Structure 1
Amino acid sequence: MSAPNTSPASLNHRHLHYFWVVAKEGGISRAAERLGVAVQTISAQLKELEQSLGTTLFTQEGRRLVLTEAGRTALHYADQIFLLGEQLQEALQLQSAAASLKLTVGISDALPKLIAYRLLQAAIDLPQPVRLVCHEGEFDELLADLALHKLDVVLTDRPAGSRPNLRVYSHPLGECRMGVFATAELAARYGPGFPDSLNGAPLLLPTRDTALRGRIDAWLSARNLRPDVVGEFEDSALMMTFGRSGLGLFPAPTLLADALEEQFRARPVGGMEDVREQFYAISNERKIRHPAVEAIRQGAEKLPLG
């Protein structure tokens, strides 16, 4: 490569942003899809960035792009640059006490929406007006958007775990007991003799990729119960909607009993001992700094989730 131009003004931040997204997404095609630009555009601008820096940032291993040592160093600094940019924008917004505080939240499909509302209520009740922007989606997609700083926080039912090239932090918010709910007719039919009455009963469940499903399966197996699983749902609200139609019984947090009866005409059938649904806030920072996210964390401690 030609000798690099080391002047700070020579660093093209758009090129650096494209590099950052490629590194986070793990490939040029996925980065192009997320950014809405052509693959050729990203390839060309990555090449220009490498020429301006005088070093190679990626190497090809089979069909995968892998960061070189220089690329890993560049990613470390790019993380800080774009995080500081987000913090600068937030700091300027916070200078005006009258300005609303924007909170962009990703809500996992599996998280009950009534729980999400209760968690967000603490942010809404802040003295400073809060403007909520809520996105619902699958867990992995929301984490990708969080890593790209498109979201301030993700509310979900599981921790992020260890993921290469993804530096996010999981903050436990609490947990709540689970029960089985159904329409009045089904509750009257399967309530007596619960939980043995679940044998052969029509049951709606979360899909197997959700954290809660494994706990429910273990609970059923420990009691040698074999219900008739008539539906599986990624979206908990959709599962409850089908439950309201009378398709089957469904699990839900017991603390939502009043709301479930009001919104879904659902009544409790019985409790699921030892089954808990857990809630997490996932952020880009180990220590939460966004005041609305901190309010959610503190507010969760006061909720009767246990």
Structure 2
Amino acid sequence: MQWLNYHHLQYFYTIAKEGSIAKAAAKLNVGQPSLSTQLKQLEDSLGRPLFERSKQRLHLTEAGRIAYDYADQVFRLGSEMVEALEDRLVNNRIHVQIGALDSVPKHITKEVLVQAYGVGNCMVSVLEGSGDKLLRDLEAHKVDLLLSNYAPPVDFKTVHAKTVAKLDVVVCASAKYKNLKKNFPHSLEGQPFVFPTVHSKLRPDIDHFFNVNGIKVDCVAETQDTSLQSLLGTEGVGLIPVNEVVAEELVKEKKLITLGKMKGVYEEIWLMAASRKIENPIAAQLMKEFSLK
């Protein structure tokens, strides 16, 4: 059985990622001659060259591309192993890390936590941020689950998702706009609105609703943060289109009133996970069972 020197494999992997021995040597804090020697030892042990030189740059050979793909899996699996072990070493509880977009209602995030505690003895960390960063963190196993209001892009191939809620969207406003309930939605003509930003999955559906109904409104503010949107609505800055879960909380707290439902406009909430060799058992169970439908 031929043994593989994993130090040599790491050096090869870093050279391939950096594109040159000089850059890899600087990153690894290893001398260039030593790095070249150890790369040659790896090539000799495999019986074929992994790089070819062209215009002073290194390019992977066919064997090099195969080796790189395997090395990538090896080091990803190693990182996953460390993450999986850390999952089980926080106060003797399973550690579950949940990412949530700012635009996901806090009520839904809370429900995920509640159900996580029902699945087993765990400690939950919640990380909020932008969709792109949290998706990269999910792929890198820095978070176990991700709550989003849009499906994962096709280029995130290891990420799988399911819809956990499909929520009606309603228009809410401070009490001073209560007269707009009559003749809704045409009563909204010319009224000030605080919209989600154009990057939101919900925004095109809202714009389409107004176009189909021939209603022109005044966009006075845009924000992706539902908490800020609700605050601006409470202050009377403008009307806000929000999903029914957010609306119910605001109405219950007597901060806003509901003017009417935007027929045909829904907000879907997605729960995502990334494929792993070693699953976080709490996250895996939530992925199978969690739903607000």
The yes-or-no answer on 1:174 pairing with 2:165 is yes
* Residue of structure 2 equivalent to 1:83: 77
SS class of match (2:104):
coil
- 2:205 aligned to which of 192, 205, 215: 215
Give 1:298 deviation, angstroms: 4.7
Q: Which residues of 2 match residues 28-39 of structure 1 at below 5 A?
A: none
Deviations 1:228-256 (A, max 9, x none): 11111122222112112111111122134
Contact 2:84 2:278 in 1 (8 A): no
- 2:39 aligned to which of 43, 51, 69: 51
Larger radius of gyration: 2
More displaced stretch, 277-286 vs 226-235: 277-286
The yes-or-no answer on 1:280 pairing with 2:279 is no
Distance 1:267 1:81 in 2: 53
* Residue of structure 2 equivalent to 1:155: 147
Give 1:288 deviation, angstroms: 10
* Residue of structure 2 equivalent to 1:35: none
SS class of match (1:173):
strand
Give 1:183 deviation, angstroms: 1.4
SS class of match (1:125):
helix
- 1:110 aligned to which of 99, 103, 107: 103
Distance 1:56 1:67, change over 3 A: closer
Aligned-pair Cα RMSD in Å: 3.8
* Residue of structure 2 equivalent to 1:195: 185
Deviations 1:4-39 (A, max 9, x none): x974243465885x679x6xxxx89xxxxxxxxx99
Distance 1:271 1:12 in 2: 59
SS class of match (2:27):
helix
Q: Gapped runs of 5+ residues in structure 2?
A: 44-49
Q: Which amino acid aligns with 1:177?
A: D
Q: Which amino acid aligns with 1:238?
A: L
Distance 2:196 2:82 in 1: 40
* Residue of structure 2 equivalent to 1:269: 259
Distance 1:208 1:68 in 2: 44
Distance 1:181 1:91, change over 3 A: same
* Residue of structure 2 equivalent to 1:136: 128
Deviations 1:201-247 (A, max 9, x none): 11111111111111111111111111111111122222112112111
- 1:124 aligned to which of 99, 117, 123: 117
Give 1:286 deviation, angstroms: 8.1
Q: Which amino acid aligns with 1:182?
A: A
SS class of match (2:119):
coil
What's the % identity of the aligned pairs? Answer: 23
Number of paired residues? 275
Contact 1:240 1:264 in 2 (8 A): no
* Residue of structure 2 equivalent to 1:247: 237
* Residue of structure 2 equivalent to 1:32: none
Contact 2:159 2:274 in 1 (8 A): yes
Q: Which amino acid aligns with 2:175?
A: A
Distance 2:185 2:53 in 1: 56
Deviations 1:115-144 (A, max 9, x none): 22223321133331x212111111111112
Q: Which amino acid aligns with 2:225?
A: D
Q: Gapped runs of 5+ residues in structure 1?
A: 29-37
Distance 1:262 1:92 in 2: 40
Give 1:257 deviation, angstroms: 3.5
- 2:5 aligned to which of 8, 15, 24: 8
Distance 1:71 1:241 in 2: 53
* Residue of structure 2 equivalent to 1:31: none
Alignment TM-score, normalising by the size of structure 1: 0.74
Distance 1:264 1:281, change over 3 A: farther
Alignment TM-score, normalising by the size of structure 2: 0.77
Distance 1:211 1:242 in 2: 21
More displaced stretch, 81-90 vs 171-180: 81-90
Give 1:175 deviation, angstroms: 1.2
Contact 2:194 2:233 in 1 (8 A): yes
Distance 2:134 2:96 in 1: 15
More displaced stretch, 174-183 vs 250-259: 250-259
Distance 1:177 1:58 in 2: 59
